[in-house]
Amino acid sequence: MTTPPSPKSPADETPPPVGRLVHEALSKSSVLWVGVTPAEAVAAWFAYHDEQVLLVTGPGEQPLPFLGDEASIVLRGKDSRARLAVLPCAVRVLPVDDPAWPEAAAALAAERLNADVLPAELPRRWADTGVTVLALAPDLERADVTVADTTGGHAPPRGRSLT
For every residue of 105-119, DSSP letters joined together read: HHHHHHH--S-SS-G
- Please determine, for residue 21, whether its predicted confidence score (pLDDT) is greater than 50: yes
Phi, psi torsion values for 66, nearest 5 degrees: -65, 130
- Nearest alpha carbon to residue 114 among 33, 41, 27, 30: 30
HSE of 19, CA atoms in CB hemisphere, 13 A? 2
Confidence grade of residue 13 (pLDDT, cut at 50, 70, 90):
low
pLDDT in tens, 120-159: 999 999 999 999 999 999 998 888 887 544 334 444 444 5
Q: What is the pLDDT of residue 80?
A: 67
pLDDT in tens, 64-87: 999 999 999 998 876 767 778 899
CA distance 75 to 87: 8
Are the CB atoms for 46 and 107 separated by under 8 Å?
Answer: no
Are the CB atoms for 38 and 157 separated by under 8 Å?
Answer: yes
Note the pTM of the prediction, 2 decimals: 0.78
